[in-house]
Structure formats: C-alpha cells, structure tokens
Amino acid sequence: MSVDIYKINPEFRDIMPQEIIDLEENATWAGESVEKRGINDLTDKKEILEEHSLCAGCPEAAALRYILAALPLPEETIIVNSTGCTSLMFPHIALHTVHSMFGNQNAVASGIKRTLDWRFPDKTKDVVVLAGDGATIDIGLDYTLQSFFRQEKITTICFDNEVYANTGGQESGSTPKGQVFKMAPKGKVFDKVPMWELAVTSGVAYSVKLTASAPKKVAKVLRESILIAREIGPTYIHLYTPCILEIGLAANEGLWEMKEQDKDRFDDFKYVSDEAADYLKKCKKEGLL
Amino acid sequence: MSIKNMTKEKNWSGQKLVSTDYLLFEAPREKHFMTGSEVLKEAIKRCTVDASVSYPITPQSEAAHLIGELWAEGYVGLYFRGENEFGVMSEVQGCAMAGARTVTTTSGPGTLRAMENFPTWSGTRIPCQLILMARGINSPLTIQPDNLEVSFLLETGCMIWYAENVQELFDMSIAAFTVAEKPDVHVPIITAVDGFFVSHTREAVMLPADDIALEPYDPYAAPLPPIDSEMPPGRFLRDPFVMKSNYISYATHASWQWEVRSAVERSKPYARHYLNGLVHTTGEENAELVFVACGTAVHQAKEGQRELAKLGIKSKVVKLRTIRPFPHAELLEATKNAKYIFVPEFNVVGWLDKEVRTSLYGKSDAKIVGRPRVAGGMSMPAEAILKEVFENTNLKGA
C-alpha cells in the first residue's frame, strides 16, 4: 500500500523533523482510517500541506488546504501543477506532485494517468490537475480542452484569481471586462472567459463553478469530481480564490470578497451528466460520499 | 492486453525477454528489405515499450502509424494521438515520469513547436526516446530533408545519436533505451535520422526474430522516484527553492544542470559498447584528407572517398554516431594525421562544422572546411564533394 511510503525508517526516526513524524503518526490516510477524511480534520490532524509561502490571508492557500483535506485517497493521488502562485505551494505538499511547465499540466496529467492505469490495473490512482486561470484558460487552454475531448479520467481544478498574480498583476482571460490591470491599462476589453461552460461543451462529466467561501462545499465538490473522474470521465472545478493583493484587500477580507462574488460572477453553476448523476447516487448508497 | 500477463520470462505480448547484448549481438538474424519507418516498427516491437504518443507530421507520420499498429497488435502498452507536438512531448513526459518506457517521433517544425519540453525532459531525468526524422524548418514552407533542427537540440541536455541508414536506426533505437535507462545515465535520448533519405528509403537489413524482446524498464532503479505514489519520499522538497533569491537556490539549479550534462557524458562507456564505438571510420587509415560527418552525409562522403580513390587521392570518412555526448577523444584520434578536414552537411548553418571546430580547437593543425553544405532538400552528389576538395586543397588527382 502506498501509505507505506510515509513510514519512517526506524534507523532515521531520531533525526527526522517533527513534521515528517507527524505525517506518519497523525495525518489522515484513507487506507487506514475508518472514518471519512474531510475538512473537519483540519482542526486536529496533521495536514498534507505544510506551511505555505503565499501572502497572508490568501484564499488560494485556504482552498488548497480544503482540497487536500478532502481528497478521498491521498496516498494514491498525484497532483499536477503549473507555473503560478500555486507552484509556490506545491513543494509543501506531502504527495507525489509534478511541476512541469506553464500550460501543459493537462497533457502531463494525461500521460501520468494513462501510465498509472497501465502499470497498476488493479489499483485506484487519482490524478488531479491544479493550476491557475492563466495556466488553465490562457496559455494552457488547448491542453485543458483537449484532455476533456479525449475523455482523460482526471480532475482539473482551476484556481481562478482573475489575474496573473505571481508575475505582478497582469490581465488574464479570466479577468472581468473593464478591470484595469497591467497589460490592460485602459481596462480589459473582452468578457471573462466562461471556462466552466467551455468544459461542458468539451465533454466533461462534471463542471462546477464556486468560490472557496464555504469549505464544506469545496470538499463535497472535490470528492464528487474525483469519484466521477475515476469511473466516468473528466471533471472540472472552477474555484474563485481572489488575489487580495492585486484587488487591494486586506489579509482578512478575502472571505468577504468570495461571499460577495457568490452572488455575482461566481453564482452557482453545476453541470452533472446523467451518467455521472447516476454514479453519484450509487456512490452515496455505498457510503463513498 | 494487460501488464499482468508479463512474467519473469515473457512480456505482456508473450515475447521472450532477453538481454540487450543478446538482442543486438547474439540473436541469429535474417535479411529483410524495408524502409526506416518500417524498421522502426520492428525495433519498437522488440523493446517491451509501455507507451507511445503520436502526432502527424511529414516525414515521421508513417513511423508513428506503425507504432500505433504495434499497440493494436498488443506489443505497446498504451498509445494515442496528442493534440500537437508541445502536448505530445508533455504527454510523453507524463508517461515517462509515471514509470513507462516511452517513445515518440517527430520532425522539423514539430520539433521546434515542442522545444520547451526537451530541457524539461532532461531536467526531470526521464529516459524516454525521441526518434527524430529530420526535415527542414519554415520559412519558406518545406517538407524536405534537412537537419537544421538538430542544432536547436544540441544544448537541451538530451543525448543525441545519429543513425546513417535503416540498419543503424534499428540497432541504435534498441540500444538507446538501454543506455538512456542506465541508473547513472537516465536522461532522454534523441535518435536522429535524415528524413526521407532514411525514413522512406528501402534497404536490406538484418533483423533478429520478433519473438524476443528487451527486459522491461525498471522505474525503481531510476535516480529520481517515479511519480506513482509507490516510492518514498512522499514529498520531494520542503521549500520551493527555485523561487527564492539566495545562493542555495542558484547553486541547486546550476549543479542540477551540470549533473544532467555529466549524466550525458557518463553514457559514453555504455554507448561505446552497444554501438561498437562512438565513431566509425572507413577509407585510408592514415589519409591526410578526412571527412567528418553524421547521418546520410556519411554515405555521400563515402561515395566521394571512393571517387577520390579512383583518382589516386587517399581519404578517410569519420562517422560520428553520437553528437551528445560528443566523441572528442575519438574524433581527435581519428583526425590525428589530417591536413584537411571537410564537414559535409545537410543544413545551411553548419552546426556539425562548429562542433568539430570547437572540439579540435588548439589540438589539430588541419584546415577545417565546412563544405559542402546542401539544404532544403537538395542532394549531395559525390561531384559536389570532389569540387570542394579540389577548390580548397592542393590535392590533385593522378
């Protein structure tokens, strides 16, 4: 079982940092826990994300914590990342992760998923792509959509902060029309790209747009999307994680910004294909949800 | 077809597993008549390949179709057409990082479209193989043979081998997996041939039987753990060092890049064994006139050498079989008696000429002439070679 890779060699235990020992002793791994993992673990269990290096109060960091806490099978999960703010957090994740280049995340994930299915036909291996809006929608749009067309069994999560934040605040395809950012000094001239709708048109079995304002909702959507990706086809989560730095908010104001947008640009959008809906019902019956 | 059908003796398609030495040097061979694309299918068939990703571009398309047929026939584990070469090379990276023996093919503009992937491949130390069927680069639009694209690949940290003909493509592409996968090497390998001249030309080749194949790739012998959640460590880094501005992060990046290039150098003993040497020479051993070439330019140089011999002029052809690592010692030894070194090439920039000059700088007194250079699909007749020899030397035929 893959959880074994977190077991510490007794010979080295005395020199191991506490955070590594905690991962073995107090993290929730699906293989050993009777109870379902979830965001409630955040209060007293060891998190899979160690301290992160994002700005204080960054909603993206909170969202990643919810996601990692809610992964149904973390010890068998590979996360593929792209360049951006998220790539600052990735080295802090205690899972096998990949940062390859900027925009090719869904192509790399396709190769990984197909190979793991080939090499481990009797095991469940979840492959999750986690990238920003620039990576998903601009530079990587081709690879994102093509992985949907090909029906790759991966979950794609876009952390939409509506801006290229890591490079200093430039307009992205996901920026709302009219917003003044760098490279759009007169305001953005075209509409926010409706990626959650493009995903549906491109053949995903599940597409949800939401903000990270409600942790339990994020956790539920993540579990559903991973379960569907295992059996049915590609799934897509479009998650608003505002860049408080670039829109001029204080560290404690991210949550309120997300709550505001719950009623505006990120009002509920949820598409579940008929086949996926049936499968979710089955999962509920079996206690997987 | 399932990997579960593989045993210690046989791979998933039922082929008997054999060593590379047996497959290349010992197994009885029979004569066949086929193109470079067809022979590549025969090579891949005998390599227990887990994964291949393809994309159409002339002149490599047929080779990519034929690998697809191997998948349909149950020899290759997984295969699909990617969205474009940038995507394909990223998919190849995913396959190889997840522990698959992986092969792909491309040509010319496809190579350039995929470019960002190649240093990423070597930086992630994946031992995948790219079969490069070289063609010209736009603009103007061309699909003809021309190996300018190889010059763009020289500093990617990938190994580059160059096959002269159909037979060499078969043997090299098998040896390539073995050398690339050595734990102390473990970098990507690009096996190049000249498009059309090799991919589309039918030649006599000697092939071992197809009921034997290479031992499978063992990702757990790799210097980096495969991305499969099966091998420690669970977390690779503790800090995102590349994003930090301090000496440690600079030194980490620099030493990693040096190590990739050292790994390429460490492939030399293995390559010498499996390729029977990094250079091959033909002609008069002590000739003062030496041609240094790779690929089909070697074939033309040999024709030039034979024509010169008819005129009583002794010459020698040095074929470079590995470009990365560059065979410095072998080249110096092979050119020690040279007064004139000609580097005939199928491109306008003369990248091999520059390589040869750099390698011999301060070590050889020979006059180095980077000619003839033909490109864009032009052929290189022996007459063109002789013309350069007579214009640039004081050698006169009898």
Domain boundaries, chain B: 3-221, 281-392
Model-level pTM greater than 0.95?
A: yes
The pLDDT confidence band at residue B35, using thresholds 50, 70 and 90, is very high
May I ask the CATH architecture of the domain A2-285?
3-Layer(aba) Sandwich (3.40)
Q: Do B100 and A115 touch (CB under 8 A)?
A: yes
Q: What is residue B19's predicted lDDT score, i.e. its pLDDT?
A: 98
**Which residues on chain A are in Cβ contact (under 8 Å) with B256?**
none
Tokens 């994020």 sit on residue: A218
- DSSP structure class, residue B275: T
What token pair was written down for B254?
């620099």
Q: Do A119 and B3 touch (CB under 8 A)?
A: yes
Which strands sit side by side in the sheet containing B159-162, from one edge to the other? Answer: B78-81, B51-54, B102-106, B129-134, B189-194, B159-162, B322-324
- pLDDT tens-digit series, residues A102-112: 999 999 999 99
What token pair was written down for B157?
């940290």
Which of A76, A118, A142 is opposite residue B78, by nearest beta carbon?
A118
Q: Do B234 and A77 touch (CB under 8 A)?
A: no
Residue range B3-221 forms a domain whose CATH class is: alpha beta
Query: Residue A85: closest CA among chain B residues belongs to which residue?
Result: B243
Alpha-carbon distances of A134 from A99, A166, A170, A195, rounded to whole Å: 15, 10, 10, 12
Q: Do A91 and B117 touch (CB under 8 A)?
A: no
The pLDDT confidence band at residue B396, using thresholds 50, 70 and 90, is confident
Does position A248 have pLDDT exceeding 70, yes or no? yes
Q: Do A75 and B230 touch (CB under 8 A)?
A: no
- CATH number attached to the domain at B281-392: 3.40.50.920
**Which residues on chain B are in Cβ contact (under 8 Å) with A120?**
228
State whether the Cα torsion B228-A88-B158-B253 is positive or negative.
negative
Residue range B91-102: mean pLDDT, rounded: 98
Q: Do A91 and B84 touch (CB under 8 A)?
A: no
E strand intervals along chain B: 16-18, 29-34, 51-54, 78-81, 102-106, 129-134, 159-162, 189-194, 203-208, 212-214, 279-283, 289-293, 315-320, 322-324, 340-342, 367-369
**Which residues on chain A are in Cβ contact (under 8 Å) with B240?**
53, 87-92
Q: Do B94 and A146 touch (CB under 8 A)?
A: no
What's the half-sphere exposure (Cβ side, CA atoms, 13 Å) at B119?
A: 13
More confident residue, A36 or B238: A36
Q: Do B235 and A91 touch (CB under 8 A)?
A: yes
Residue range B196-206: mean pLDDT, rounded: 98
| Rounded Cα gap, residues A111 and A152, in angstroms | 9
Q: Do B243 and A88 touch (CB under 8 A)?
A: yes
| Rounded Cα gap, residues A118 and A116, in angstroms | 5
| Average per-residue pLDDT for chain A | 94
Min Cα–Cα distance to chain A from B154, Å: 20
H-assigned helices in B154-200: 166-180
| Average per-residue pLDDT for chain B | 96
- Encoded amino acid at B262, one letter: S
Does position A120 have pLDDT exceeding 90, yes or no? yes
**Which residues on chain A are in Cβ contact (under 8 Å) with B231?**
5
B246 CB-contact burial (10 Å; exposed 0-12 / middle 13-18 / buried 19+) = exposed
DSSP per-residue letters across A191-214: PPP-HHHHHHHTT-SEEEEEETT-
Q: If residue B352 lies in a helix (H) or strand (E), which one and from where to where?
A: helix B351-360
Q: Do B94 and A116 touch (CB under 8 A)?
A: no
Q: What is residue B199's predicted lDDT score, i.e. its pLDDT?
A: 98
- Encoded amino acid at B264, one letter: V
Distinct helix (H) and strand (E) counts, chain B: 14, 16
Q: Do B236 and A100 touch (CB under 8 A)?
A: no
Min Cα–Cα distance to chain B from A271, Å: 26
**Contacts for B255 with CB less than 8 Å, ≥ 6 apart:** none
Percent of chain A with pLDDT over 70: 98
**Most A-contacting residue of B229, B238, B243, B248 (CB-CB within 10 A), to test interface:** B229
User: Considering only residues 120 to 139 of chain B, which have any Cβ-Cβ distance to chain A shorter than 8 Å?
Assistant: 120, 124
**Which residues on chain A are in Cβ contact (under 8 Å) with B126?**
none
Q: Do B90 and A142 touch (CB under 8 A)?
A: no
User: Considering only residues 272 to 311 of chain B, which have any Cβ-Cβ distance to chain A shorter than 8 Å?
Assistant: none
Min Cα–Cα distance to chain A from B71, Å: 13
Tokens 């039918």 sit on residue: B202
Q: What is residue A137's predicted lDDT score, i.e. its pLDDT?
A: 98
The pLDDT confidence band at residue A288, using thresholds 50, 70 and 90, is confident
Q: What is residue B240's predicted lDDT score, i.e. its pLDDT?
A: 57
- DSSP structure class, residue A91: G
Does position B244 have pLDDT exceeding 80, yes or no? no
What values do phi and psi take at B183, rounded to 5? -55, -35
Alpha-carbon distances of A133 from A100, A138, A190, A236, rounded to whole Å: 16, 7, 16, 13
**Most A-contacting residue of B12, B54, B90 (CB-CB within 10 A), to test interface:** B90
Percent of chain B with pLDDT over 90: 93
- DSSP structure class, residue A57: T
Q: What is residue B243's predicted lDDT score, i.e. its pLDDT?
A: 64
| Rounded Cα gap, residues A133 and A161, in angstroms | 7
Beta strands at B78-81 and A97-99: parallel, antiparallel or unpaired: unpaired
Calculate the dihedral angle through the C-alpha atoms of A239, A243, A246, A250, rounding to the nearest 10 degrees: 140
Query: Cis omega (within 30 of 0) on the bond before A91?
Result: no
What token pair was written down for B212?
């034997």
Do A262 and A213 meet the contact criterion of CB atoms below 8 Å apart?
yes
**Which residues on chain B are in Cβ contact (under 8 Å) with A93?**
235
Does position A1 have pLDDT exceeding 60, yes or no? no
Q: Do B94 and A91 touch (CB under 8 A)?
A: no
| Rounded Cα gap, residues A201 and A231, in angstroms | 20
Q: What is residue B242's predicted lDDT score, i.e. its pLDDT?
A: 63
Q: If residue A126 lies in a helix (H) or strand (E), which one and from where to where?
A: strand A126-132
Which strands sit side by side in the sheet containing B340-342, from one edge to the other? Answer: B279-283, B315-320, B289-293, B340-342, B367-369
| Equal fold, B3-221 vs B281-392 | yes
| Rounded Cα gap, residues B47 and A251, in angstroms | 56
| Rounded Cα gap, residues B157 and B261, in angstroms | 6
User: Considering only residues 220 to 239 of chain B, which have any Cβ-Cβ distance to chain A shorter than 8 Å?
Assistant: 225, 227-239
Of the candidates A194, A199, A198, the residue with the CA atom closest to the CA atom of residue A276? A199
Which of A87, A94, A98 is opposite residue B234, by nearest beta carbon?
A94
Residue range B38-65: mean pLDDT, rounded: 98
**Most B-contacting residue of A118, A129, A144 (CB-CB within 10 A), to test interface:** A118
- pLDDT tens-digit series, residues B272-308: 999 999 999 999 999 999 999 999 999 999 999 999 9
Which of A88, A93, A116 is opposite residue B235, by nearest beta carbon?
A93
Do B129 and B102 meet the contact criterion of CB atoms below 8 Å apart?
yes
Give the distance from CA A227 to its chain's centroid.
14
The pLDDT confidence band at residue B234, using thresholds 50, 70 and 90, is confident
Q: Do A100 and B233 touch (CB under 8 A)?
A: no
Q: Where are the domains of chain A?
A: 2-285
Q: Do B97 and A90 touch (CB under 8 A)?
A: no
Percent of chain B with pLDDT over 70: 97
- pLDDT tens-digit series, residues B143-159: 999 999 999 999 999 99
B87 touches chain A (CB under 8 A): yes
What values do phi and psi take at B153, rounded to 5? -95, -10
- pLDDT tens-digit series, residues A128-184: 999 999 999 999 999 999 999 999 999 999 999 999 999 999 999 999 999 999 999
Q: Helix (H, G, I), strand (E, B), or coil: what is residue B68?
A: helix
Q: Do A115 and B243 touch (CB under 8 A)?
A: no
The pLDDT confidence band at residue B126, using thresholds 50, 70 and 90, is very high
E strand intervals along B236-356: 279-283, 289-293, 315-320, 322-324, 340-342
